[in-house]
Structure 1
Amino acid sequence: MTRTRKALFFTALLGALALPTTSSQAATGTDTVTPQHGIAMHGEPKYPKGFSHFDYVNPDAPKGGTLKLSVYANGYDSFNPFDIKGIAAAGITTYLYDTLLESSADEPFSEYGLIAESVETPEDRSYVVFNLRKEARFQDGQPITAEDVKFTFETLVNKGHPFYRNYYADVADVVVEGPRRIRFDFKESTNRELPLILGQMPILPAHYWKDREFGKNGLTPPVGSGPYRISDFEAGRSITYERVKDYWAKDLGVRKGRFNFDHIRYDYYSDDNVALEAFKAGNFDFRLESSAKNWATAYTGPKFDNGSIVKESIEHHRPAGMQGFAFNTRRSVFSDPMVRRALAYAFDFEWANENLFYDQYTRTDSYFENSELASSGLPTGRELEILEPFRKQLPDEVFTQEYTPPSTDGPQGLRQNLRKALELLRSAGYAIKDGKMVNKETGEPLAFEMLLFQKSFERVVLPFKKNLARLGIDMSLRVVDSNQYVQRVRNFDFDMIVQTIPESDSPGNEQREYWYSFNANVTGSRNYMGVNNPVVDKLVDMIIQAPSRQELVYRVRALDRVLLHGYYVIPQWHLTSDRVAYWNKLERPKVTPKNGFDLNNWWIKP
């Protein structure tokens, strides 16, 4: 339900009086840049100027009704999703704030004008200019101006989540060139993605925040610019959004056929099993199922038989990313890659898939699974050329062994895997003493804690724990509430967690947040595993600077290989479809884009 699967955070701007200029001078002062209605990461955008709607929406979808949804979490305490403090309410960024540009869901990475009517950037992408629409306005009627955009950028970078400082790190200067015209100059001209990620910035109203402290507005409903406003809420328990009937952008091609519900309500549930039963009782309308067991056994009964509730697997072609048991390499117990590699042999995916998951999943063996960006085999050709300068800094296995997660297929199954784990642990300086795996030098036992917030995941972890015990390794299990879990992860206060690292078809600046050494100890960063590797840093820089789509693919595959052979996670599994169930009052477009379904394109049957 996110606005775009690439942008996980956002920024804000405000709006406009004078007519936008139609061209700007490039950094050399000689080249004229023509304003464009859209921009693609590589090549040209798919949709022409003045397009009426995206191909995957129904432009005639009726408006009306209430969409009721659930959130599995222990409440919320903030309406500010841009600040690291607190837990923001569901839906805030999607519904309250518009962005300069809007991504399409059927291209690798293209964006089209939303608040910005047009965008100007030279061939080297050394700067970008956004020309704002004169009709763009906030929900209190105030126009969105270039000053709002500048205010948003500076607020997010200086007061927002640390993510923004990394995401926008290559911006050198922000210049308001007119009431509706703003220019961003860049430190380097090799970051082709920067104009697009600035386009994803959610714009905040400078006038609203003038007399308020950014991180302390709590549960005061803010002024936004998007298709919905907050109409009602019960602190920590529910929140309801109402559609803005005179929404300024409702007839734009990027909005036509979208945001069709009059009201959207989220109710919070602290127990997912309770939420499932509430869904089947009609307390909310739609459910995205994450449990294979539930999908196989719980979606049955008269309401499914008579069609009152629709159960459907909707295929997608987006990168699956990586879900796995993530090691916190900041902890001494996981500082050695050989130890991390050894522990992977104790996870029996094949048994879990057959006995727990009803054979619904496929094993993941890439951080960019289900896409052309995933590495395979041994590096050859251009991929090998990219990796060759780093040969002395990388394990030999990057060049000589194809990465495959341990498998228990075969006659000896898990027993053979545990023997391999023992061999690796001995090489890492461990030995069995009194039935426990201990460090031969220090005598410290090999023990750690698995931190969870989903109690349902215990059934996956307990067999893993049992296998580790056969190696003399003690894994304790702690389940905490969602709010405590978020705080502990933000502060890297864990040994191991189950973590999903999402990826898009066009990796770029967000890779710094995942892998950069600089972020290994920045509170709140998404470098969960504490990756601190100069080769990874350089490969991330190369990805950001990729001059073409094909070169991007080669560079991402090279990074994938290095990460896999770093053994930062024990890969789990993925699906190439979304398991959804919904009451039949909902209807969806006939066309599903490659990124998968989006509830914001659905509607309620008249």
Structure 2
Amino acid sequence: MRDMIFRAFILVTLIAATFRCSSDVDVSLPPVEETPYSGELIGPPDTMADSQAVKGGVYSVWGSSYPRSLNAFVDNNSTSSDIMGLQFESLVVMDSAKEEPIGILAESWTVSPDRRTFTFKLRPEAQWSDGRPITSKDFVFYYDTIMNPKNLTTVFRIDLSRFERPEAPDDRTLIMKAKEPHWRNFWAVAGMTALPAHDLEGKDFNRVDTFSVTSGPYQVAENKVNRFVLLKRQPNWWGRKLRYNAGKYNFDYIRYRFMEDRDKALETFKGGMFDAYAIYTAKIWALQTDFDQVKKNWIIKQTIHNREPRGFQGFAINLRRERFQDLRVRQALGLLLNRQTMNEKLMYGQYILLNSYFPDLYPGYVNPARPVTAYNPEKAAALFAEAGYKVNAQGKLEKNGQVLKVSFLTSMTDLRHLNLYVEDLKKVGIDASIEQLSQSSIRDRLNNYDYDLYWISWGSGRLKDPESAYDSKQADIQAGNNLPGVKDAKVDALIESLKQETNSDRRTALLKQLDDRLVELQPYILLWQSDATRILYWNKFGHPEKPFGLYNREDAIQVYWWYDADKSKALEEAMKNGTALPAEPAEIRE
């Protein structure tokens, strides 16, 4: 434990840093100067954006662990996806409030009567950051890049594999032909990203980390591995001409700072080095968020509820390992996880215990037709015995002379949950251990399915397509999303039925059937989920009426929020005088 003098020194240092950073001024970063656009805006607006938003300022966000690559196509993680999403654009996006297509790089499109041929007409205004026009050939290059088996683009190949190679009869026309019917075919091609062929051709795409030519509102200006990534707003971004982008992408700079330890990240946030800090650890929210800056409203503490699609988190069980192919072993492992106690003692009852792989299909994220698996070591012991395991003289579970071993792969620094689980596994004779590695090392291991159990949190989406996560054909493809290696005829049949179903209500019914089958197979040990986003942020920002929109979480800040000079000045004055600012709502519901 630190001594009191050292803790006092840290506190003084952090307070000083807070005063230095509170005004959002970074003398090393000049304002982005852009030529005002006075032309008529094109297309419909984004109803989640605010017309009062202003450009300027620096937004610093905690990026957790530095990813293996900033190229999200070869390292499919949330941070890289956020950074890539600010640099590149797709043909079409789904409207932020309705399930309707909004053209971005495409100004129009047609769909053949059999819904197998999709023809897009590109916007003549669309151009790369180096001023060259974005053409249909850039989408052909994207297709060839993703479909190249040498590239670690496995997850993205699933959708594209349903299509013939694109046709580009001219620079502004792109034709995509589906090999087979699928309800997501339109959205699969609509989500295609243009990649700059003139810049990337001939390069090893697996080694492309940052991009010198982009199409989106931001571009990487500086990258310090394991420290930070600085994005700079494109001063003459072509997308300013779209009404859908009005009031969005307001910060001059976005700085992702990387720090693995959540507790250290919180202290750094208090010191002003991060502008916002989303909290996914219940202990931190319950015990470490009522500090002085929060009480004086210099930092806003809010719980935000909206309709964000919620996935699940759980321990992926590697079914490629022979000892985990016995369902009774997987069931027993699930019975030895004391979720209830962990939620009560470690997470202060803030989480919903899961019994579904698609929790957002059900009210309250819980399927009322089945119970949540309860801790039951006696039943677990009986299942191990049925599976042929006996306790040997050393107190270890053994079968055919082999001790049952379970290793947890993790990059987490907070091991409270894992330690409790490991202890409960050891009590029944399992040789359980924890292997801590960097996130980049873990990504390499996962790409090659070299693990026993891995704790992962999966997101969800407004359009659910479980093919990449559970289809048998994806089980042994390197760098895929079918982490457990699920191979099941019933699962495959349900996924095949989903592909053909165009009615959303019937798709939901099929997803619930798939959910039932996955619960039977137990490729994951399900954990828990939150029903809201909990966030702290410095009181110097403007934001829309719905801070995270209808379907987003804290990543909406980079898109919709803005630096408010008046709020920043009021914050600085309050901090100098030690006075409180007016309170903000503690809870927001859409």
Q: Shorter-chain-normalised TM-score: which range?
A: 0.7 to 0.9
The match for 1:193 is: 184
The match for 2:531 is: 576
The 8 Å contact of residues 72 and 81 in structure 2, kept in 1 or not, is answered as no
* Matching residue within 202, 211, 231 for 2:193: 202
Change (3 A) 1:57 1:194: same
Aligned partners of 1:584, 1:515: CA distance in 2, in Å? Answer: 43
> Is 1:232 equivalent to 2:219 in the alignment?
no
Using the TM superposition, give the Cα deviation of residue 232 of structure 1 relative to its aligned residue in structure 2, in angstroms: 2.3
The match for 1:133 is: 123
The match for 2:379 is: 420
Listed as ranges, the matches of 1:323-472 within 5 Å are 323-372=313-362, 376=367, 403-407=370-374, 414=375, 417-434=376-393, 436-440=395-399, 442-456=400-414, 458-472=415-429
> Is 1:144 equivalent to 2:134 in the alignment?
yes
Normalization by structure 2: what TM-score?
Answer: 0.83
> Is 1:100 equivalent to 2:100 in the alignment?
no
Change (3 A) 1:366 1:50: farther
Using the TM superposition, give the Cα deviation of residue 89 of structure 1 relative to its aligned residue in structure 2, in angstroms: 5.6
Listed as ranges, the matches of 1:50-65 within 5 Å are 52-65=44-57
Aligned partners of 2:526, 2:405: CA distance in 1, in Å? Answer: 20
Change (3 A) 1:210 1:433: closer
The match for 1:391 is: none
Tell me the SS of whatever aligns to 1:172: coil
Aligned partners of 1:87, 1:559: CA distance in 2, in Å? Answer: 25
The match for 2:492 is: 537
Tell me the SS of whatever aligns to 2:284: helix
Using the TM superposition, give the Cα deviation of residue 90 of structure 1 relative to its aligned residue in structure 2, in angstroms: 7.1
The 8 Å contact of residues 361 and 508 in structure 2, kept in 1 or not, is answered as no
Tell me the SS of whatever aligns to 2:193: coil
* Matching residue within 425, 429, 441 for 1:484: 441
Any gaps of 5 or more consecutive residues in structure 1? Answer: 1-48, 378-401, 408-413
* One-letter code aligned to 2:251: F
Tell me the SS of whatever aligns to 2:85: helix
Any gaps of 5 or more consecutive residues in structure 2? Answer: 1-40, 566-590
The match for 2:459 is: 502
Aligned partners of 1:430, 1:274: CA distance in 2, in Å? Answer: 43
Change (3 A) 1:239 1:540: same
The match for 2:71 is: 80
Aligned partners of 1:90, 1:551: CA distance in 2, in Å? Answer: 31
Aligned partners of 2:523, 2:560: CA distance in 1, in Å? Answer: 37
The match for 1:24 is: none
Aligned partners of 1:283, 1:375: CA distance in 2, in Å? Answer: 38
Tell me the SS of whatever aligns to 1:152: helix
Tell me the SS of whatever aligns to 1:195: helix
> Is 1:276 equivalent to 2:266 in the alignment?
yes
Using the TM superposition, give the Cα deviation of residue 217 of structure 1 relative to its aligned residue in structure 2, in angstroms: 4.0
> Is 1:554 equivalent to 2:509 in the alignment?
yes
* One-letter code aligned to 1:534: A
The match for 1:26 is: none
Aligned partners of 1:121, 1:525: CA distance in 2, in Å? Answer: 30
Q: Percent same amino acid among aligned pairs?
A: 27
Normalization by structure 1: what TM-score?
Answer: 0.81
The match for 1:566 is: 521
Change (3 A) 1:566 1:72: same
Q: Which has the higher helix share?
A: 2
Q: State the number of aligned residues.
A: 518
* One-letter code aligned to 1:201: M
The 8 Å contact of residues 238 and 267 in structure 1, kept in 2 or not, is answered as yes
Change (3 A) 1:210 1:477: closer
Tell me the SS of whatever aligns to 1:450: strand
Change (3 A) 1:124 1:558: farther
The match for 2:171 is: 179
Change (3 A) 1:267 1:329: same
Change (3 A) 1:340 1:217: closer
The match for 2:576 is: none
Using the TM superposition, give the Cα deviation of residue 56 of structure 1 relative to its aligned residue in structure 2, in angstroms: 1.6
Aligned partners of 1:212, 1:490: CA distance in 2, in Å? Answer: 22
The 8 Å contact of residues 140 and 166 in structure 2, kept in 1 or not, is answered as yes
Aligned partners of 1:477, 1:211: CA distance in 2, in Å? Answer: 41
Using the TM superposition, give the Cα deviation of residue 575 of structure 1 relative to its aligned residue in structure 2, in angstroms: 0.7
The match for 2:550 is: 594
Aligned partners of 2:76, 2:43: CA distance in 1, in Å? Answer: 40
* One-letter code aligned to 1:80: N
Query: Residues 264-319 of structure 1: CA distance to partner in whole angstroms, max 9, x if unpaired?
Result: 11122132222111101101101111111011111122211111111111112233
Structure 1 stretch 75-84 or stretch 537-546: which is displaced more? Answer: 75-84
Aligned partners of 2:454, 2:408: CA distance in 1, in Å? Answer: 6
Tell me the SS of whatever aligns to 2:168: strand
The 8 Å contact of residues 118 and 177 in structure 2, kept in 1 or not, is answered as yes
Aligned partners of 1:477, 1:131: CA distance in 2, in Å? Answer: 53
Listed as ranges, the matches of 1:100-119 within 5 Å are 100-107=91-98, 109-119=99-109
> Is 1:256 equivalent to 2:246 in the alignment?
yes
The 8 Å contact of residues 405 and 571 in structure 1, kept in 2 or not, is answered as no
Structure 1 stretch 274-283 or stretch 88-97: which is displaced more? Answer: 88-97
Structure 1 stretch 312-321 or stretch 178-187: which is displaced more? Answer: 312-321
Change (3 A) 1:213 1:133: same
